[in-house]
Chain A
Amino acid sequence: MLEIKNLHARIENKDILKGVDLRLGAGEVHAIMGPNGSGKSTLSKLLAGHEDYTITEGSVSFLGEDLLELAPELRAAKGIFLGFQYPVEIPGVSNMVFLKAALNAQRKARGEKELDAGDFLAWVKHRVKQMQMNPAMLSRGVNEGFSGGEKKRNEILQMLVLEPKLMVLDETDSGLDIDALKVVADGINLMRSKERSVLLVTHYQRLLDYVKPDFVHVLAGGRIVKSGGPELALELEEKGYGWIQQAA
């Protein structure tokens, strides 16, 4: 599904990613952990097409296609979704209008028929219910005045509505209480299938208790310095990152 090879990226003359290699097969869940500032958000945003980063070396292919050439909106239409670490507020544009515009823009780009108002409403309400959100939120501005937790929940709602193939979730679990974490995890699990993959950026084992990863990677100093199975996350929880960075 996703193949990252020897990826180097910089911003404002500062090298952030220094040779990342990562392969995600269809249906797999990978977790990326690592200390603050190690480049996790950089990698996530880069996959979604953020234009501030300069790629100096390496390649990324998605479903066999060169991803790095594509504009963010085309990546979205091809099935990449980024759950933002810090979702943006768009006051004055309701969640409903936003979601409908986004879904139909993607469908149009894929040559699919756009949903009419009635079909869209039914679809979005179904998803709102699954996320245990108040349908009244649909007429509020996108993330406008939402708490940190509500914003994260809204990211997952958007994901459920858009049904992407690759879900990159950047610290979606941060700032959630235990009930909200459960809802978010259920949302992610709802989307898991043989055709979809998940890249979970997280600091905490507790999300991984609900969303079982197939692989766990440690990103430190701009490179993947260690990879393993779910047990690696437990080990990190116990010992921190120091021992890996020393070993690497």
Chain B
Amino acid sequence: MLDLATFRSAFEALPEPARSSARRKALDAFLAGGLPSTDLEEWKYTDLSPLAALPPAALLPEAEAAGEGIGFTDALDALNAAFAGGSTELRIAADTRRDEPIRPADRAHQRHRLHLERGAEATLILNTSGDGAFETVFADIRLDAGARLNLVRLNDAGADAHRLTRINMHLARDACANVVTVDLGGRLSRHDLNVDLAEPGAAIHLHGLYAPAGEGHVDNHTRIEHRAPHCTSREQYRGIARDKARGVFNGMIRVHKDAQKTDSEQRIANLILSPGAEINAKPELEIYADDVKCAHGATFGQLDDEALFYLRSRGLPESTARALLTWTFAHEVLQHIHQEDVRGRVTRRLLRQLPNSEQLEALQ
């Protein structure tokens, strides 16, 4: 097994009070379990061994043990628990609406528990955009009946960044979540999004954009479990890869036996901008109910020739026209971000990393 000494060293370097027994227990569980290997189907395309090669000083476990009662479900969850030092808990009371988005402090390792009670409404913005070489953000989110959540997850860290994020969502009756997740850049990013549509009428709308560049590697795994009848899922993921970057998308949708009248749709589209870039996108549908509506589709490849001709016929140079259409492709996802500041920031970053986008500054 891989030598994980760097994680232990980083932990031992913490001041004494931060090395609580609960954290140490989590650390030991991680060290025992290890990093998932690429032999596992779930990790086939994403090799986490570069994490073990990071120097201890780059790992940045939190110096303060936050919160109590650290439970964890697997080795990576234990790693996050150990490094975050506990979870922040937030509860939105029944039938209240929180207008200001919840924006957790920008710490390298974050562990969140968010609970929206019956009919509550809130917006959560999760960031792994900091300067740290290694950051982990794990969140458990529970929506009680009729609760509504807007969630934006954003990773626009620098070229050397390594990121692990996992979001688990549990939706009760008629609860509804709108999720936008964006990965721009970074060296290695793995994001897992697990959604349980646990009771009738629950709905999830999911929009994802990943645009790795340089030598970057971005892996998005989503899993939507339709466990109850009359639930809705809408999933749209778009990938743009350039240079020698690699994108991975795996979208599992499982419709359980009792989930009759499921209404599910998954759309995947990818753009490859350089010959050395690669995207592996895979839908995975498992359907055990018989009265369901499940649509899915994937498009791969290139920019629309007619649109390209239209733009050029108006005088735009080919490179500008291509940049514009690439922007349009991304915009289909970004338009679902309703916070102006977040959308502006993503737009600026995306434009910077599109080829030939100088002429598109006006889009900002």
- What residues of chain A have their CB less than 8 Å away from a CB belonging to chain B? 45, 48-52, 71-73, 75-77, 81-82, 84, 87-88, 90-93, 97-98, 100-103, 105-106, 109, 158, 162
Contact = CB atoms under 8 A, between A and B. Distances in A.
A106 B324 CA distance: 16
Interface string B318-332: 101100110110111
Contacts of B335: 91-92
B313 A93 contact: no
A103 B325 CA distance: 18
B14 interface: no
B261 interface: no
A129 B318 CA distance: 31
B90 interface: no
B359 A101 contact: yes
Given A73-B315, A91-B328, 4 more contacts: A76-B315, A93-B324, A97-B362, A162-B314
Contact of B310 (A52, A84, A97): A84
Interface size class of B (residues with CB under 8 A): 20 to 34
Given A73-B317, A73-B318, A100 B362 contact: yes
Which among A76, A87, A101 has the greatest number of chain B C-beta atoms within 10 A?
A: A101
A103 B315 contact: yes
Contacts of A105: 315-317, 320, 359
Contacts, number: 86
A43 B305 CA distance: 18
Contacts of A90: 307, 310-311, 324-325, 328
Interface of B: 304-307, 309-318, 320-321, 324-325, 327-328, 330-332, 334-335, 359-360, 362-363
Which among B310, B316, B324, B360 has the greatest number of chain A C-beta atoms within 10 A?
A: B310
A103 B362 CA distance: 14
Contact of B309 (A72, A93, A109, A158): A72
Nearest to A97: B362
Q: Which 6 A-B pairs have the closest CB atoms?
A: A92-B331, A76-B315, A106-B315, A72-B312, A102-B314, A88-B310
A77 B314 CA distance: 8
7 contacts: A75-B313, A92-B335, A93-B327, A97-B363, A98-B311, A101-B316, A109-B315
Contacts of A49: 309, 312-313
A50 B309 CA distance: 7
Nearest to B307: A88
Contacts of A76: 312-315
B328 A71 contact: no
Which among B305, B317, B320 has the greatest number of chain A C-beta atoms within 10 A?
A: B317
B344 to A, nearest CB: 14
B193 to A, nearest CB: 24
